[in-house]
Amino acid sequence: MIYNVHFAYDEGKPVLEAINLTVPHGSAIAIVGPTGAGKTTLINLLNRFYDVNQGSITINRTDIRDMELTSLRSSLGVVLQEPFFFATTIRENLLYGNQNATEEEMIEAARLANASHFISRLPKGYDTVLTERGLNISQGERQLLGITRAILRNPSILILDEATSNIDSLIEAQIQKAMIILMKGRTSLTIAHRLSTIKNADRIIVIHNHRIIEEGTYPELIEKNGFYAHLYAMQQTRENITEDMFK
């Protein structure tokens, strides 16, 4: 639960104001808004990269500031648009998410994430050495490995940056299938860049001008014909929509 959260990186320049959000267990929540609206900041606060200036964030009624940092972050699975990889083997990068996982569990996670097919085509398979940040494989393949690592971690809460720009349609379809498997039975918060990808979310939260201004299902928000519907229409012709466009 996020209760009356206010946050600013610099005093007098609010990034989030009076944010209130209840996320039921097992629900899929999408967070949308123009670039600069505060979506990523909200996720940073949940991870405690920063602490709120005012208000509170709780998980199972416990304020995250009262939780051990390692305990908090072990309950979160984060899949970014650009997952970070170390300059070592695919196997070691995957097991970084859960060092106690067995070989069989790792292979099953890769299968569920639709990553095993491309790994098997590599000359050394799971022993293929990645360059730092994994730049010797494609962006889509990096994302599939990021999903594999999250499945191995088996978190109770997922934080997803689902952007799939500059990825071919075949890989994008594989990523979307892997995301559905990863989200099943878990609470998920998705930062949505492409609004067409979150039509099936249980609830869509719209952030603009530092605040939550709308929320509902996709059909509800389209029928309302408010800010979300306007944003959705704008995205048909513009790739990046920023807060500055609405000043």
pLDDT in tens, 27-64: 999 999 998 889 989 989 999 999 999 999 999 999 99
Ordered structural domains, the chain, with CATH: 1-75+157-165+183-247 (3.40.50.300), 81-154 (3.40.50.300)
CB 181 within 8 A of CB 151: yes
pTM above 0.75, yes or no: yes
Q: According to the model, what pLDDT value does residue 164 have?
A: 60
Q: At residue 241, does pLDDT exceed 70?
A: yes
Q: Which one, of 201, 174, 160, 175, lies nearest residue 77 by Cα?
A: 160
CB 220 within 8 A of CB 11: no
Q: At residue 208, does pLDDT exceed 90?
A: yes
Q: In what order do the strands lie in the sheet with 76-79?
A: 76-79, 157-161, 187-191, 28-32, 203-208, 211-216
Report residue 54 as tokens: 């005012």
β-bridge partners, 10:
13
CB 87 within 8 A of CB 131: yes
